[in-house]
Structure 1
Amino acid sequence: MAYGVLKAAGVLVAAGALGIGGWSFATGWHPAPSQYPLQGLDLGENPGAIEWGTVRARGADFAYLVATSGADRRDPGFEANWAALPEAGLRRGAVHLFSLCQLAADQANAFNAFVPRTADALPVAVDIGFRADCTARPDRAVLVGEVQTFVRMVEAHTRKPVLLRLTKAVEREYQLSGAIDRPVWAIGNLFVPAYAARPWRLWRASDIRRIDGITGPVNWNVVAP
């Protein structure tokens, strides 16, 4: 009886150790720099305090920050983080979270009014996904036209081509990557994504990576070689 209890306890301890080890590996994993030399992160809204120098020392070459969402939301931490990135040696890019419930022209005007045009900035990324605060599902032709309007207006402001960050669910329903000729930022934890109509330019390879300098998980990305 005692032997059986001890054996069961040993199995549980071993399983726990394996679970901890597996989680530690998953949160520390990123694609090999030998295959993808340029790597960096993107952060969601309101990311909190960040030690950008530490982030740079841990291997990040660039960072993308959410600037605006829809036509009426500005990220309160964007300006301070935007200013801090060059000082830390990181290239910087801005993200707009596109709303299916608001006009693209209003969203582009909100973005252009908030994000300055800077020569060192990476191309703007427009993130298109289904969000909890918007249940609208426009016809494909309508959405394609709206995204094209946003792209045209933002590119006139930044003078650089916009990146399309497309979730798999949106791409499956709307096939935006085939309709809008712009570089694609694809999403796929651990596994290389292949759902877009053209090869990806950026790949979000993990949304659970943890690195020094940031509290909580970060989205880790690589640039196509």
Structure 2
Amino acid sequence: MRLSNVTAIFLACLTLAGCAANSRPATVQAGRPSEETTGSVAQSAVPVPAADIGDVAAQAAPPQETLAWAGSIPQPQAFAPASRTVGAPVPSDRPIAMLSPDKPEMGTAPQTRSQIYSYGFRDAKPINFGSISPRKLAVHGVDVSRWQAEIDWERLRRQGANFAYIKATDGGDHLDPMFKKNWRRAKEAGLKRGAYHFFYWCRTAGEQADWFIRNVPKEAGALPPVIDVEWNGESSCKRRPSRERVLEKMQVFMDKLERHYGQRPIIYTAPDFYRDNLKGAFLDYPFWLRSVAAHPSKVYPKRKWVFWQYSGSGLSHGVDGRIDLNVFHGDEGDWHDWVASR
């Protein structure tokens, strides 16, 4: 053959190879699960599966934090911290009044009242809360993540878990490897359940909201989504933004979730983060407060709450190791009314 023919054949082969490579579906293997831990920090010795994040494009390195918004926004919203916090109506003591924004319905869910199972948990580090003990409240529940490994949801419910918040995502690219299974099994066992996102301060708020929306189903009857905001010394992200920046990022994330799910997100937080950033802020949002040594009224004065995480060392049938214990702020009637309003 002449040299020109050889060259032409060689170039044609390269072109065909490139087309064949580009015709394959893009796939990505989940990386090592995030090292973030929240609530129950004791890691299970039982291996858990790698996260299945579906058929997605390869994950890029975290973007530089220049703008809070990331991704396409259905409708622009300007952030004005003062207008959302200063002068906002203070919700009443009844938890029902805290979560009644006018939002579109997601679908029709059967309005049947589920059985309430009474408290049956034990605690590895019991606290005497005195006359304001969480045991005096009627509706208890749990929050879980991959660290609880395999859960017997039927036994856990009979032990007193009437609701469950399940770890779904953290940051902009981590999916809890047990989320899909826990989400399905909790519903099958008859628990009311919702999903929570652990917020990274080194990722954009819009990017994190998009990741949560991508992985958490929009289902009628699900509890409101939760944004978990706290300082975590174990995180690879050591950034601690200013209070103003924290409130801005949270607002961006919560606005996006509220538009998508039709429910105002719940804010989960811990005492130190609340003191640094949230005191006096987001008065028109429901709160889930961690307070494992005293009643929330002592740790978060004047803050209204819907859920109280009162223990990180709970023990229960159906779970190996410790589990976070929570309680709803109200009686059984309040609970049924609140769930129906979702």
TM-score normalized by the length of structure 2: 0.56
1:204 aligns with 2:304: no
Larger of the two Rg values belongs to structure: 2
**RMSD between superposed Cα atoms in Å:** 2.1
Say which SS state the counterpart of residue 118 (structure 1) adopts: coil
Task: Give the residue type in structure 1 aligned to 2:281.
Answer: G
Query: 1:85, 1:177 → 2: CA distance?
Result: 35
Q: Is the CA contact 1:171–1:177 (under 8 Å) kept in the aligned structure 2? A: no
* Partner of residue 157 from structure 1, selected from 250, 260, 263: 260
Instruction: List runs of 5+ in structure 2 lacking aligned partners.
Output: 1-122, 331-342
Query: 2:223, 2:328 → 1: CA distance?
Result: 12
Aligned ranges 1:160-199 → 2 under 5 Å: 160-175=263-278, 178-179=281-282, 181-194=284-297, 195-196=299-300, 198-199=303-304
1:78 aligns with 2:179: yes
Say which SS state the counterpart of residue 123 (structure 1) adopts: coil
Structure with higher strand content: 1
Query: 2:270, 2:176 → 1: CA distance?
Result: 21
- 1:100 corresponds to: 201
Task: Give the residue type in structure 2 aligned to 1:31.
Answer: P
Deviation at 1:105, TM superposition (A): 0.3
Instruction: List runs of 5+ in structure 1 lacking aligned partners.
Output: 1-22
Deviation at 1:47, TM superposition (A): 2.5
Aligned ranges 1:7-86 → 2 under 5 Å: 26=126, 31-32=134-135, 35-86=136-187
Task: Give the residue type in structure 1 aligned to 2:153.
Answer: W
- 1:4 corresponds to: none
Deviation per residue, 1:102-140 (Å, 9 max, x gap): 110000000000001000110111100112222111111
Task: Give the residue type in structure 1 aligned to 2:272.
Answer: A
- Shift in CA distance, 24/125, structure 1 to aligned 2, threshold 3 Å: closer
Query: 1:60, 1:177 → 2: CA distance?
Result: 31
- 2:212 corresponds to: 111
Identity %: 31
* Partner of residue 244 from structure 2, selected from 103, 119, 141: 141
Q: Is the CA contact 2:165–2:195 (under 8 Å) kept in the aligned structure 1? A: yes
Deviation per residue, 1:147-174 (Å, 9 max, x gap): 0000000111111110000111111111
Deviation at 1:176, TM superposition (A): 5.5
Say which SS state the counterpart of residue 264 (structure 2) adopts: coil
Query: 1:75, 1:96 → 2: CA distance?
Result: 10
Query: 2:124, 2:281 → 1: CA distance?
Result: 38
Query: How many residues are aligned here?
Result: 201
Query: 2:141, 2:184 → 1: CA distance?
Result: 17
Which has the larger displacement, 38-47 or 57-66? 38-47
Structure with higher helix content: 1
Query: 2:285, 2:124 → 1: CA distance?
Result: 36
1:124 aligns with 2:229: no
- Shift in CA distance, 207/145, structure 1 to aligned 2, threshold 3 Å: same
Deviation per residue, 1:182-222 (Å, 9 max, x gap): 10111111421234452111100111010000011110000
- 1:13 corresponds to: none
Say which SS state the counterpart of residue 155 (structure 1) adopts: helix
Q: Stretches of 4+ moved more than 4 A in 1?
A: none
Deviation at 1:38, TM superposition (A): 1.1
Query: 2:221, 2:282 → 1: CA distance?
Result: 29
Deviation at 1:46, TM superposition (A): 4.0
- Shift in CA distance, 24/107, structure 1 to aligned 2, threshold 3 Å: closer
- Shift in CA distance, 24/184, structure 1 to aligned 2, threshold 3 Å: closer
Higher RCO structure (Cα 8 Å, ≥6 apart):
2
Query: 2:221, 2:259 → 1: CA distance?
Result: 16
